[in-house]
Amino acid sequence: EPEVTQTPSHQVTQMGQEVILRCVPISNHLYFYWYRQILGQKVEFLVSFYNNEISEKSEIFDDQFSVERPDGSNFTLKIRSTKLEDSAMYFCASTWAPWQGSSPLHFGNGTRLTVT
Amino acid sequence: KNEVEQSPQNLTAQEGEFITINCSYSVGISALHWLQQHPGGGIVSLFMLSSGKKKHGRLIATINIQEKHSSLHITASHPRDSAVYICAVIVTDKLIFGTGTRLQVFP
């Protein structure tokens, strides 16, 4: 069964550094998402992406964050200048049609980001 | 106040018991997901519902749109069902997540 893949599985970076988290969604999916989960807390929505543009973003997704689909297969999340509080598990997800019951949401295994 | 509330937060059960996890939400939604998060952190979608009831194996999910409430039932629970179960609602193009219910099933 096709799956969403995320790399790396764990990223350690120093405060102030830029990081890029990579995701390869399922190939025929049209809607892409990033979520994060700070340790011990609930999963939070960051951004949704459709038709090569952001369709919705949360208050968390400020100017330090950006997303790109550079080549039709990868979907990246960039954090320009990381802060300690960006340490979390970041999940990528994709679906073909979010409103259709026959099109479930597929999650990647996550990238654990540790900012020191 | 959270837009999506789950109860209970923690649940322990003996193998074979019938489990119910509840989710209430306060916003207008187009659909609702039940997700399972295993100790390693990976998230799997169990169900997506916009009305009525769905069944998959020992899992049953129901939703009442008028009452803004959904339930996830596990029949004949098994230790491998131990995980965090998360209710998440679709509002426009985003998912709003509940805090999750941590289920432990003991042999």
* B10 SS3 class: strand
* Residue A101: predicted pLDDT: 65
Share of chain B above pLDDT 70, in %: 99
Q: Say whether pLDDT at A85 is over 80.
A: yes
Q: In Å, how far is A94's CA from the nearest CA of chain B?
A: 11
Q: How confident is the model at residue A77 (pLDDT cuts 50, 70, 90)?
A: very high
Cα–Cα separations (whole angstroms), residue A72 to A27, A30, A66, A94: 9, 10, 17, 13
For residue B26, give the DSSP letter.
Answer: -
Phi, psi at residue A25, to the nearest 5°?
Answer: -70, 170
* Residue B53: predicted pLDDT: 95
Q: Name, in order, each residue with C-beta under 8 angstroms of A27's C-beta and a sequence gap of 6 or more.
A: A2, A73
Angle at A26 between CA A21 and CA A28, to 5 degrees: 130
* Residue B46: predicted pLDDT: 94
Q: Which residue of B has its CA nearest to A41?
A: B99
Q: Say whether pLDDT at B94 is over 90.
A: no
**Cβ atoms of B4 and B87 closer than 8 Å:** yes
Q: Say whether pLDDT at A61 is over 90.
A: yes
Q: Which residue of A has its CA nearest to B52?
A: A101
Q: Say whether pLDDT at A100 is over 80.
A: no
Query: Dihedral sign, CA of A14, B42, A65, B28?
Result: negative
Residue with tokens 């679709």: B90
pLDDT tens per residue across span B29-45: 988 999 999 887 889 99
CA-derived radius of gyration, chain A: 14
CB contact under 8 A, B31 and A50: no
Q: Say whether pLDDT at B1 is over 70.
A: no
For residue A108, give the DSSP letter.
Answer: -
